[in-house]
């Protein structure tokens, strides 16, 4: 697989203008990235801007805290799919996970996956806020719930993806689901090592630099 196809080209800042989103899409088209990852208000704009390409439109829901009600997240996912989202990156309820209410976490993921249908669902567990034991339990919830990816981070908390976390996630999920490393992947060395450790997708705002450095 081409290295560019590992990249979800990401812009999730609150002050992102449509001009900035247009630039994101144009870069994704030029570099042939796997997707653009945006907030839900930009789905339709990106879908139109990327028409005629194979670049997917990915969006985030329950972002960045994950503390919304399950019903709100389900509605948000359903709305995103109806507007053309190809992939959905959801944030788990981190507090419920830390309470060891794994049934709650699994049920929420399952309900969102049901709405997504055959669209890809990635589950953000926010590794920087979890112990290693909690990371393992979160990965188990993702596998039990039928989601497609477990994802490290929002990039909006106290830390992003680490080599240690990606290795632990890979050890836990094996080949039962895919892994997305996101947050802080800005060097080509980090990019290459994340893939070597088992990451199937990289979420980054530095995609153009990562690919240019590899050419």
Helix residue ranges, H only, 32-82:
43-49, 70-82
Q: Cα–Cα distance between 59 and 34 in angstroms, integer? A: 13
Number of C-beta neighbours around residue 133 at 10 A: 9
Q: Which residues are catalytic?
A: 89, 151, 180
Q: Cα–Cα distance between 197 and 39 in angstroms, integer? A: 28
CA dihedral sign of residues 3, 81, 96, 13: positive
Nearest residue to 58 via CA among 81, 37, 79:
37
């Amino acid at each position: 697989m081409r290295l560019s196809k590992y990249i979800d080209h990401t812009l999730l800042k609150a002050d992102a203008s449509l001009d900035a989103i247009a630039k994101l899409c144009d870069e994704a088209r030029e570099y042939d990235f796997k997707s653009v990852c945006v907030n839900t208000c930009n789905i339709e704009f990106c879908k139109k801007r990327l028409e005629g390409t194979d670049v997917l439109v990915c969006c985030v829901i329950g972002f960045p805290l994950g503390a919304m009600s399950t019903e709100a997240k389900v509605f948000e996912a359903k709305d995103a799919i109806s507007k053309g989202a190809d992939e959905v990156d959801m944030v788990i309820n981190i507090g419920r996970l830390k309470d060891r209410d794994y049934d709650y976490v699994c049920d929420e993921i399952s309900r969102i996956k049901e709405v997504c249908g055959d669209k890809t669902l990635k589950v953000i567990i926010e590794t920087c806020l979890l112990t290693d034991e909690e990371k393992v339990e979160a990965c188990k919830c993702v596998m039990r719930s039928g989601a497609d990816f477990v994802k490290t981070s929002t990039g909006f908390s106290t830390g992003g993806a680490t080599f240690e976390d990606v290795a632990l996630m890979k050890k836990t999920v094996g080949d039962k689901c895919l892994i997305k490393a996101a947050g802080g992947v800005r060097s080509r060395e980090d990019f290459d090592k994340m893939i070597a450790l088992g990451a199937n997708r990289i979420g980054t705002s530095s995609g153009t630099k990562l690919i240019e450095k590899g050419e």
